[in-house]
Chains A and B, each alone.
Chain A
Amino acid sequence: MNILRKKSRAKLPFSETVIELFIRLCGFSCIIFVFGIFFFVFREGAGFLFNGLDIGQFLTSPEWYPTSLNNKRYGTFALILGTFSVTALAMCMAVPFGLGAAIFVSEFCSPKLRETFKIVIELLAAIPSVVWGFIGLTLMNQLIIRVFNAPIGLTMLNGSIMLALMSVPIIVSIAEDALKAVPDSYREAAEALGATRWQVIYRVLLPAAKNGLLAAVLLGAARSIGETMAVLMATGHSVNIPSGPLSWIRTLTATIAAELGEVARGDEHYQVLFIIGILLFTITFVVNLIADLVIKGIRQE
């Protein structure tokens, strides 16, 4: 096999060499882009990060007064809590629904129904986030006010529902692929041993597809953390430490989106917004790292 590969490589026609080179370049460009983006975000924020910003206050103070005339305070604690709480609540809703739907589509559906389901789910994924945001701002706002008797419906719950609806399609399609990848011989063996359908799923399929399912959940969560427009419109965009699903909150991403447009370039406030960008980068990096370690741990078992 090895000799064969070497031989064929020696005879590569010119066009294939060019294409191989090009594909190699595409691969490396990913790395270049990631580092490039990190470099530029870091460069914009670095001046104030190392010279003037009180990092302790930045991470632990809930007071976000970037445009105060006499007492500017840059505390992002409330924003960090906002980001995490809205994502966590969204995942509480999206994970059971998403995994349940994936199991249904891959195990219980007739092939015809399955195709319809997949098209509809993909349609759900194609709705732009600003449309979700608008639904949150108008429809869900009044619904939550009526159902919960809340003073306002632009709340963490509203944002979470929007985020859940946005991440369910991702979770379903990746989880379904993972379940499909489990060889049929597993199912047949389990059924031959007399397992019921539920036992096949619970004892055989889910453990076998563990890695893929975890990846599905983590990608869904990543979508939620990074989502901007929908949470900007649906959560109330209010600097507030959340006390429950009905409190109004603000996320890190929404703060950047709302304020970066109208800030003077190179200003302290401008740099702080980029430092928030660095913070978001760090958070997603840590989440990805943990995911990698967890998956590796599972593999070693």
Chain B
Amino acid sequence: MQKIAIIFFLAVLVCGSVIIGCSPTGSNNNNGATKNGAHVTIKNKGSDTMVNLAQAWAETYTGITSTASVEVSGGGSGIGVAALINGTVDIANCSRQIKPKELEQATQNTGKAPQEFIVGYDALAVYVHHDTPIDKITIPQLAEIYGEDGTITRWSHLGIQNSACPSDRIMRISRQSNSGTYFYFREALLGKNRDFELGSLDLHGSKDVVEVIGGTPCAIGYSGMGYATPHVKMLAIATDENTAYYAPTLENVLAKSYPIARPLYMYSLGEPMGEVKAYLDWILSTEGQQIVQQLGFVPVENN
């Protein structure tokens, strides 16, 4: 009996020390990338829209350099910025611009002001199910579909006979109300003075939006144009009914004729130095920007 008791006691001791040993260690690398001998790990976190892109950059970059590796995680623009404020990442990915309050918090907390880099552009595509008989839509029509007290709630209001959707109801797919994509889409459609109508399905993640629309003939939704699948189609968009419709393609976004495209940002803490600087320079180089294009985003113009 005593033996068992002693073993139990020891087991508890071991568990306890493991738990204590695992307590937060993330906050002790305020000074840029973590050094592990000569090898440097760059921590990169943030926007869900950008996570595939950031992952591709990280993989390619790790292949061509021997002095650094990049750790990427998603979660959302806000999560990336929050990590930047806490000083636990080297680079935050953000599909919206950093807010003044966040900028101030980061400067206060870490003593360094975040520096902004535009690393590419994302065209926000409007998706519908593959079988929906519609190819184009205008911004005012979208505003009436999504906006508060909007007048378009059925496919027939758009002059469409959507036979795959017997209820004729437009199912609005949206994003959770503080994602960078949500903010951008709301402003592009409704400006700053009107809200979205409640009752949209606010999905959690760019991929889920396309996934659900691919299985739902009544749905309409928005997500980055890099997420298209064979089950959905992207609509061409016009600023109003008197102007031309533009499909979300590379050329149209580069020519700035596609109306809903936004910049993608990366933020570093303070002026980037050493490996972080080398990484950001590489991202903005022709090679890094090629990856942007491969993943369905739009590269920044190289002057």
Contact = CB atoms under 8 A, between A and B. Distances in A.
Interface of A: 13, 15-16, 18-19, 22, 62-71, 78, 137-138, 141-142, 145, 149-154, 232-233, 236-240, 248, 250, 257-259, 261-265, 267, 269
A137 B208 CA distance: 8
Q: Which of B5, B169, B198 has the most CB of A within 10 A?
A: B198
A151 B2 contact: no
B256 interface: no
Contacts of B28: none
Given A237-B176, A264-B102, A151 B165 contact: yes
B273 interface: no
Max chain B C-beta neighbours (<10 A), residue from A70, A149, A233, A264: A264
Interface in B172-190: 176-180, 182-183
A260 to B, nearest CB: 9
A157 to B, nearest CB: 15
A149 B76 contact: no
A152 B198 contact: no
A238 B201 contact: yes
B19 interface: no
Contacts of B201: 152, 154, 236-238, 248
A265 B108 CA distance: 14
Interface in B152-167: 165-167
A262 B215 contact: no
Contact of B9 (A18, A150, A261): A18
Contact of B202 (A13, A15, A138, A238): A238
Nearest to B75: A261
Nearest to B179: A262
Contacts of B218: 151-152
A240 to B, nearest CB: 5
Nearest to B2: A15
A233 B199 contact: no
Given A151-B165, A239-B199, A141 B101 contact: no
Contacts of A232: 204
B195 A71 contact: yes
B216 interface: yes
Nearest to A154: B201
Contacts of B178: 66-67, 259, 262-263, 269
Nearest to A240: B199
Interface of B: 2, 5-6, 8-9, 12, 75-79, 81-82, 85, 99, 101-102, 105, 165-167, 169, 171, 176-180, 182-183, 192-193, 195, 198-204, 208, 211-212, 215-219
B217 to A, nearest CB: 8
B148 to A, nearest CB: 9
A70 B192 CA distance: 8
B2 A13 contact: yes
A215 to B, nearest CB: 28
B105 A265 contact: yes
A259 to B, nearest CB: 6
22 contacts: A15-B9, A66-B177, A67-B177, A67-B178, A70-B192, A71-B195, A78-B198, A138-B215, A141-B212, A141-B216, A151-B165, A151-B171, A152-B201, A232-B204, A237-B202, A237-B204, A238-B199, A238-B201, A250-B202, A259-B176, A263-B78, A265-B105
A152 B193 CA distance: 30
Contacts of A13: 2
A146 B178 CA distance: 32
B294 to A, nearest CB: 27
> Which 10 pairs show the lowest CB-CB distances between chains A and B?
A262-B78, A151-B218, A258-B176, A236-B201, A262-B178, A262-B76, A151-B167, A239-B198, A240-B199, A151-B169
A253 to B, nearest CB: 13
Contacts of B217: 145
Given A19-B9, A22-B9, A152-B219, A137 B212 contact: yes
